Amino acid sequence: MKKKNKLIQLKQLTQLMQLKKVKKLALSLLVLIPFLLTQNVNAKSTANKDMLNEMPKLSVQLWSVKDVINTDFKNTLKKLSAMGFEGVEFAGEFGPFVNDPKGLKTFLDSINLQASGAHVSFEQLDGKNFQQTIEFYKQLGVDTLIVAWDERAWHPEGILEIVKLLNDIDKKITPFNIKTGFHNHHHEFNKFQDSTYWDYLATHTTESVVLQQDVGWTTFAGKDPIEYVKKYPGRTFTTHYKVKLPEGVKNKLPLIGQDTTDWLNLLKANISVGGTKWIVVEQEEYPNGLSSLDAVALSKKGLDKYISKL
């Protein structure tokens, strides 16, 4: 009987010790779980912050070298790659690959370039041409099609049509994992409804529609490009870095770093607020007799100096 009682006591003691261990473990978990959750949240926040603050890739709009791209397509792209550009934005010129988007992508891959996007017209995205346009650019690896110009964008009735077209195309193009958007000139900053045409377009299109700001035309219109990046967060998916000197400015050149734009703070805004994937250098003026390629190279060099200060 005594032996049996001792066995019962021993069993009870063992159970009690196990219960204490379970309670201790539970208490430890109660303390540990919030810490682990915090670490997980912090890790996600850090990852999101890193994505938000990622340096955009550098591209060049091929309109910048329109005088040589038409006659020496392949070598021109090779020279742009050698300058350190990571991508090119197309504007209707495809050289010998006009009917061979797959071949063009293969060529781009061979010289370490990507197709950062393309400028198109509304006509290319209408019902008649939509499928053909999408198929071409999908094969080329383009994920952003920007309408480059339309005079209706600074007309009281025309802007309503532009907004509707962009919203309709956005819905139609999204399933193909392609973005659409609009590119400003200085006219879009004309006054409209107590604001500007550009602001009307921004506030009446869906947030997935890209506002491809052309910095040169924004400054030429007397507006602050940094303010416009911050005004519409996440929508300057691609941005044109171009110099267009405001009227009356002297002793400056239309080259990045030799002008009046606050490029360093614009870069910071694009990175931290704009959601910018591509910075696209565009050169439309060639001062002091510079060739188009030499002018692009100087603007790229000027931009690199600001990037090094980030």
What is 252-288 written as a DSSP string? --SSTTSSS--HHHHHHHIIIII--SEEEE-----GG
Q: Are 11 and 4 in contact (CB under 8 A)?
A: no
Helix (H, G, I), strand (E, B) or coil at 288: helix
Distance of alpha carbon 56 from alpha carbon 63, whole angstroms: 21
Name the β-bridge partners of 301. none
Please report the pLDDT score of residue 48 as a whole number: 36
Distance of alpha carbon 42 from alpha carbon 111, whole angstroms: 39
Please list the pLDDT of the chain residue by residue as tens digits (310 residues).
544 444 445 455 445 455 555 445 444 444 444 444 444 434 433 333 444 578 999 999 999 999 999 999 999 999 999 999 999 999 999 999 999 999 999 999 999 999 999 999 999 999 999 999 999 999 999 999 999 999 999 999 999 999 999 999 999 999 999 999 999 999 999 999 999 999 999 999 999 999 999 999 999 999 999 999 999 999 999 999 999 999 889 999 999 999 999 999 999 999 999 999 999 999 999 999 999 999 999 999 999 999 999 9
Please report the pLDDT score of residue 3 as a whole number: 45
Helix (H, G, I), strand (E, B) or coil at 176: helix
Angle between helical axes of 73-82 and 101-110 (0-180°, round to 10): 40
Distance of alpha carbon 278 from alpha carbon 59, whole angstroms: 6
Please report the pLDDT score of residue 52 as a whole number: 53
What are the Cα distances from residue 81, in Å, to 216, 245, 281, 299?
Answer: 23, 27, 13, 15
Of 204, 194, 138, 124, the closest CA to residue 166 belongs to 204
Please report the pLDDT score of residue 252 as a whole number: 96
Distance of alpha carbon 253 from alpha carbon 199, whole angstroms: 29
125: tokens are 């995205």
* Cα-Cα end-to-end distance for the chain: 84
Please report the pLDDT score of residue 15 as a whole number: 54
Residues near 51 by Cβ (< 8 Å), separated by ≥ 6?
none
Residue type, 194: D
Q: Are 143 and 114 in contact (CB under 8 A)?
A: no
